[in-house]
Amino acid sequence: MRFTDGPSVHCDVQIEADVPQVWELVTDIHLPARLSPELQRVAWLDGANRPLVGARFEGYNRHLQLGQWRTVSHVVELDEQRVFAWAVTDADGRYGEPTLDPAKSMASWRYELKAGGEGTRLRQSTLIGPGRSGVTLALDRWPDREEEIIAFRMKELRAGMAATLDGIKALAEAGG
């Protein structure tokens, strides 16, 4: 896969809990910081305290090769108990020109929930780009290794999503 293809990855889990209960967990922006190997902490910005389209939150991340950095995410889609999506921007210019424009996001993330079986089917997905990120820094340095770099990052993201979804499943099935 090439960067211009819009690399993406997703993970799914079946949760033995109803949609409203799972929705409460996935829209708690603080929860992934407890479950993710990369996201360390988050905080709402601009007086927001819950997901609404246009609301923003900052995230602090850590990666073995890239160190630590801050992002600002923008809630771009919210369909109650179905979809929660946000675009991650490089507000501090860690990877290029600083931007708060969701159209120039480093990545876009999304949760999708569907009632089914004995509970809820939950999908978490991400799309890398189109803006600059750690992936584009690596591609600048090693353009001849593009497919390898993207495959490695997709593998990392898939592992992080699996950890997050397993944590959400455990919490939901334990009653919250």
Tens of pLDDT, residue by residue over 92-126, are: 999 999 999 999 999 999 999 999 888 999 999 99
**Is the per-residue pLDDT at 46 higher than 90?**
yes
Token pair 């593998």: residue: 155
pLDDT tens for residues 132-153? 999 999 999 999 999 999 999 9
pLDDT in tens, 8-32: 999 999 999 999 999 999 999 999 9
What range does the domain containing 113 cover?
3-173
Q: Is the pLDDT of residue 165 over 70?
A: yes
Which of 87, 77, 76, 80 has its CA nearest to residue 22? 80
User: Greater confidence, 121 or 67?
Assistant: 121
Give the chain's domain count.
Answer: 1
Statement: residue 66 has pLDDT above 90: no
Write the DSSP symbol of residue 8: E
Closest CA to 25 of 51, 48, 45: 51
Interaxial angle between packed helices 19-26 and 146-173, expressed in degrees from 0 to 180 and rounded to the nearest 10 = 130
**Separation of alpha carbons 140 and 28, rounded Å:** 35
Residues 6+ apart with CB under 8 A from 164: 32, 35, 36, 124
Q: Which residues, in sequence order, are CB contacts of 107 under 8 Å at separation 6+?
A: 87, 88, 126, 127, 128, 129, 133
The CATH number assigned to the domain holding 89 equals 3.30.530.20
Does residue 53 carry a pLDDT above 80?
Answer: yes
Q: What pairs with residue 57 in β-bridges?
A: 44, 73
- Global pTM value: 0.94
- On the question of pLDDT at 47 being above 70, the answer is yes
